[in-house]
Amino acid sequence: MRDFLFVACVIFTSLISSASADPNSQNGFNLNGALVPVDEILSGGPPRDGIPAIDKPVFLKADNAKEVRDNARVLGITRNGVSKAYPISMMNYHEIVNDRFNDEAIAVTYCPLCGSGVAFKTDVAGYQLQFGVSGLLYNSDVLLYDRRTNSLWSQLLSKAITGSLKGKELTRIPIEHTTWADWRTQNPETLVLSQDTGYRRDYQDNPYAGYDEHEGVYFPVSFRSKGYHPKEQVLGININHQAKAYPFVELGKASKNNMIEIKDEVAGQIITVRFDKMHKSAKAFDAEGKQIAGTTLYWFAWFTFNPKTTVFKVK
């Protein structure tokens, strides 16, 4: 609670100080012609790259990652025959890892304010992009920027909202949000991001302690819903522009067993949602068993970006 109030005060001060700044230029980014209202693009406090992305990640084998506890939350990706885990405790301080899975460049992103982990292919419009943290937010969600064109990209829209690449979209890839114990069991050959980042950070300290339990959010958002606690975790699925949310509290009601499997239909497509109560992890698969690139995040964040979403509820 103390950390939540302290950070809230710092952010409130940054909001006041940025109110008198040129609304069409923030942190060195030109916002003219933005695809979203310029007055809803806010400074998060740090300057551009004040939160440093990891550009040269170092990884450890699972057996050598003694500092990662079993109950630690991680983002996990398996791609091109390689499995990697990115501890949330580290992503809180960096938000972006510019990585590779063999020959494929992937950006792994995490927004602590929305609780959202999203991974993208970085090949866009003939460019292979590398991303940094802009220090700006839209609807409380991190705005990335690519270092080639300085275009701003919304993580949850998966789209460039300013710059020469405005309107271009990033291709999401499946990512899991689970515990280190669960990910390691599923992927015994996994690698895990090393704390050898080149930056002096106390990765055991959580700068957002208490935030996930408090009903308040640091920044204004376009849409709010009272259906669930704002920080309720949901699995968000978007198929053919039809959005559906699977709140963990509802998934937990669906069965008394630890592992829950639910058949559902979104945009005319049959999907399967698998929920693990013990590890508080959910993922979805299409009719052919291929994992869907869904997003685990806070309810308020899903709803503000998807105000027309339908919601899975236990009858």
Please indicate, yes or no, whether residues 179 and 251 belong to a single structural domain of this protein. no
State which of 165, 186, 207 marks the end of a domain.
Answer: 186
Tokens of 132: 């940094």
Q: What is the pLDDT of residue 25?
A: 85
Q: What is the pLDDT of residue 262?
A: 95
Please indicate, yes or no, whether residues 178 and 256 belong to a single structural domain of this protein. no
Please indicate, yes or no, whether residues 150 and 15 belong to a single structural domain of this protein. yes
Q: What is the pLDDT of residue 21?
A: 57
**What burial class does residue 252 get, using C-beta atoms within 10 Å of its C-beta: 0-12 exposed, 13-18 middle, 19+ buried?**
middle
Please indicate, yes or no, whether residues 22 and 82 belong to a single structural domain of this protein. yes
Tokens of 296: 């685990």
Contact, 180 vs 281, CB < 8 A?
no
Q: Which amino acid is at 213?
A: E
Cβ atoms within 10 Å of 181's Cβ, excluding its own:
16
194 lies in a domain? no
Q: What is the pLDDT of residue 254?
A: 86
Distance (Å, whole) CA 115 – CA 211: 10
State which of 186, 218, 251 marks the end of a domain.
Answer: 186
198 lies in a domain? no
- Phi, psi angles (nearest 5°) of residue 38: -60, -35
Q: What is the pLDDT of residue 148?
A: 97
Q: What is the pLDDT of residue 22?
A: 66
Q: What is the pLDDT of residue 3?
A: 47
What 3-state DSSP class applies to 123? strand
Residue 67 belongs to domain spanning:
2-186
Please indicate, yes or no, whether residues 171 and 49 belong to a single structural domain of this protein. yes
Half-sphere exposure of 254 (CA within 13 A, CB side): 22
Please indicate, yes or no, whether residues 19 and 131 belong to a single structural domain of this protein. yes
Distance (Å, whole) CA 132 – CA 53: 6
Tokens of 116: 């959202």
200 lies in a domain? no
Considering only CA atoms, which of 301, 315, 146 is closest in space to residue 219?
A: 301
State which of 186, 219, 247 marks the end of a domain.
Answer: 186
Please indicate, yes or no, whether residues 27 and 161 belong to a single structural domain of this protein. yes
Domains identified in the chain, total number: 2
Bridging pattern class, strands 141-146 and 82-87: unpaired
226 lies in a domain? no
228 lies in a domain? no
Please indicate, yes or no, whether residues 302 and 154 belong to a single structural domain of this protein. no
Please indicate, yes or no, whether residues 56 and 155 belong to a single structural domain of this protein. yes
Please indicate, yes or no, whether residues 176 and 241 belong to a single structural domain of this protein. no
Report CA 234 to chain centroid distance, whole Å.
12
> pTM of the full predicted structure?
0.92
211 lies in a domain? no
Q: What is the pLDDT of residue 220?
A: 80
Distance (Å, whole) CA 133 – CA 109: 10
Please indicate, yes or no, whether residues 129 and 20 belong to a single structural domain of this protein. yes
Cβ atoms within 10 Å of 9's Cβ, excluding its own:
10
Segment-wise mean pLDDT, segments of 10 residues, the chain, 315 residues: 43 44 83 96 96 98 95 98 98 98 97 98 95 98 98 98 98 98 97 96 94 90 86 97 97 88 96 97 97 98 97 91
Distance (Å, whole) CA 77 – CA 202: 24
Please indicate, yes or no, whether residues 178 and 245 belong to a single structural domain of this protein. no
